[in-house]
Structure 1
Amino acid sequence: MDTSVAQILQGLESGLPLLLLHFGATLALFLIGVAVYVAVTPLHERELLASGNQAAGVVLGGTMVALAIPLAATLATSLVLADILIWGAVALVLQLITFLIAIWLFRDLRTMIESGNVAAGTALAGLQIAVALLNAGAMAG
């Protein structure tokens, strides 16, 4: 067998289990983050989405992206599982705090989103993604 192919296969054999472990842990953190977000927010995402509320869809989609961005940075920069779990949890908490602060600062935001105001949903999603990018940059720094 060609030496380079053998080296690739050997690297895959030793690295794939670690990749799957780190990816699986990060994916679990992401799913936990989405579940906690849905549980703690004053919005009723399932009902709003089922009724075709586009603003709620924008907010939930933006939230998922915003949760994934710092988790991806943590995954890319961490070498051990404990690091991923700890910094990933910190990233999720910061993102959830961002949402709660936005809802608190803009008291009508919930009402606007529930009434289908896509502009309000887009603004909230944009804020969450902006903070996620800053969060990711700080964690990768």
Structure 2
Amino acid sequence: MTGSLEGLLPFMTYFGTGLAAMVLFKVLYALLTPFDEWQLVKKDFNTSAAISIGGALLGFTLALASAAKNSVAYSDFLIWAGIAMAAQLITFTAVRFILLPSIVEKIENDKIAGAVVLASINISVGMLNAACMSY
């Protein structure tokens, strides 16, 4: 039994750091977006905002999970978590200013099609990011 628990401390370290990174990502993503998805979801029951933030979190977490799985050391995990976070934040910026300049209005007005496209792009970038981290 003792042998089975040897990995508990590294697990708790990586898992705790992963959860903290998810919270940090959510905060930074909210700062980057001109609207507060959590408020739109909680207050207005805005489905588009829920899809949007859900896709962003899922995309980031896919890459974060790959960073945890493929890291050779904790410091390596931290570096790749930062890269994953940057990739997702840059993705939203590119979508907002280049691909779909009206995405903010679409989400605020609960236009689901725009949110699905944004979520799909975020998830796709997260999957690609995760695959590229499997060195």
- Deviation of the 1:11 alpha carbon: 2.4
Instruction: Flag the 1:12–1:62 CA change in 2: closer, same or farther, 3 A.
Output: same
Query: In the alignment, what sits opposite 1:20?
Result: 12
> Normalising by the residue count of structure 1, what TM-score does the alignment of the two structures yield?
0.89
Aligned partner of residue 140 in structure 1, secondary structure: coil
Amino acid at match of 1:71: L
Aligned partner of residue 79 in structure 1, secondary structure: coil
- Deviation of the 1:44 alpha carbon: 2.2
Aligned partner of residue 7 in structure 2, secondary structure: helix
Match of 2:130 among 120, 136, 139: 136
- Deviation of the 1:62 alpha carbon: 0.8
The structure with the largest alpha-carbon Rg is: 1
Instruction: Flag the 1:115–1:25 CA change in 2: closer, same or farther, 3 A.
Output: same
Write the mapping of 1:25-104 to structure 2, written as runs, cut at 5 A: 25-49=17-41, 50-104=43-97
Amino acid at match of 2:40: L
Q: Deviations over 1:63-98 (max 9, x none)?
A: 110110000000111132111111101110111100
- Alignment pair present for 1:107 and 2:101: yes
- Deviation of the 1:10 alpha carbon: 2.8
Aligned length, in residue pairs? 133
Q: Deviations over 1:80-132 (max 9, x none)?
A: 21111111011101111001100011111111111110010000000000010
- Deviation of the 1:140 alpha carbon: 1.3
Structure 2: which 5+ residue stretches go unaligned?
A: none
- Deviation of the 1:31 alpha carbon: 1.2
CA RMSD of aligned residues (A): 1.1
Query: In the alignment, what sits opposite 2:115?
Result: 121
Aligned partner of residue 110 in structure 2, secondary structure: coil
Query: In the alignment, what sits opposite 1:4?
Result: none
| 8 Å Cα contact 1:58/1:121 also seen in 2 | yes
